[in-house]
Amino acid sequence: MTASLALPSISLNSSSVSGLRNGKGAPLGIRSLGRSRVSMTASVGSQTLQSDALFADYKPNFAFLFPGQGAQAVGMGREAQSVPAAAELYKKANDILGFDLLDVCFNGPKEKLDSTVISQPAIYVTSLAAVELLRARDGGQQIIDSVDVTCGLSLGEYTALAFAGSFSFEDGLNLVKLRGEAMQEAADAAKSAMVSVIGLDSDKVQQLCDAANEEVDDANKVQIANYLCTGNYAVSGGVKGVEAVEAKAKSFKARMTVRLAVAGAFHTSFMEPAVSRLEAKLAATQIRTPRIPVISNVDAQPHSDPETIKKILARQVTSPVQWETSVKTLLSKGLKKSYELGPGKVIAGIVKRMERSAEIENIAA
């Protein structure tokens, strides 16, 4: 019912419920679903403690799922230019980022788009532009209004929170910009890497990690960083540890390993230097209670208390991504249909691998 994460949840203000808004508070693109939710509070002395269990008994019907880093591809965002509300997001992004995001999305080069500092904001903006493309089509607003739960893979959690009204488009983009920069700097500080292990269950991948760790020093240890789905888990750690995983994978009956084109060992302690920068940025950002449940990557639970959400987002870069548990929980709770919004079809492939009969539609931009 409640999250297993023991985090303080103190809020001195009631949380407003809204959709994406610009810096002046005017509605932008993603609008509120028109459903008001009342935060549960309890007074303790002179403080008001906001419950983090507002969404504990959520019952999902229709979900928006947002992709993470790795979904980017040169040419993305082109379709979005046909819808003014979607095109406007890129214009706003240019002012915040200080470079022409759309030009990089359209023309690359791929190496530039793939860099952490660019791919993260690019996916965030393109995913929210996909929402605007959906809104503009016949019946699109009805679909958006029907969505009662959302989540995103790693970076996609920020997109999901923006869609759910936890922060404005601009504030979310500023957070994502800082997150990309901080993760890149942390990666530059140590030789680390990520590798996907294909064809094994999580227990076998853990055994593979244990075997690799017996051969390397502490600075090169590895661990499972992304629990995507059975047969596809990402391992992060020092370069020598990742090389040991690659060398031993066949002996553990893995079908293959694929070295990931990322800056370093995301979702491990290698990203610890990024946490303090994220904490400072989050502390200065207004975060509201989401209007619908947003499932966290850290513990596969929805959170409603803004202070708890801030703490979880700071921890997310060093914590394994619990995507498999998140999606399985949605399906077990009766999810009827989900939509993947943004570049690529990675999430649709993962969901279908978990449950072949699951209904999921891709809304690209």
> Annotated active-site positions, please?
154, 267
In angstroms, the CA 123 to CA 159 distance is 9
Alpha helix (H) residue ranges in 5-151 = 84-97, 101-107, 110-114, 116-136, 140-146
Indicate left, alpha or beta for 301 from its phi (over 0: left) and psi (-120 to 50: alpha): beta
Buried/exposed 166-197: b ≥16 CB within 10 Å, e otherwise:
bbbbbbbbbbbbbbbebbbbbbeebebbbbbb
In angstroms, the CA 35 to CA 170 distance is 23
Pull the structure tokens for residue 226.
Answer: 């992304």
Mode of pairing for the β-strands spanning 192-198 and 232-238: antiparallel
Q: Tokens 């989900």 identify what position? A: 338
In angstroms, the CA 280 to CA 270 distance is 19
Q: Of 195, 287, 309, 191, nearest to 244 (Cα)?
A: 195
Alpha helix (H) residue ranges in the chain = 84-97, 101-107, 110-114, 116-136, 140-146, 156-163, 169-188, 202-213, 239-248, 272-283, 306-316, 323-332, 346-354
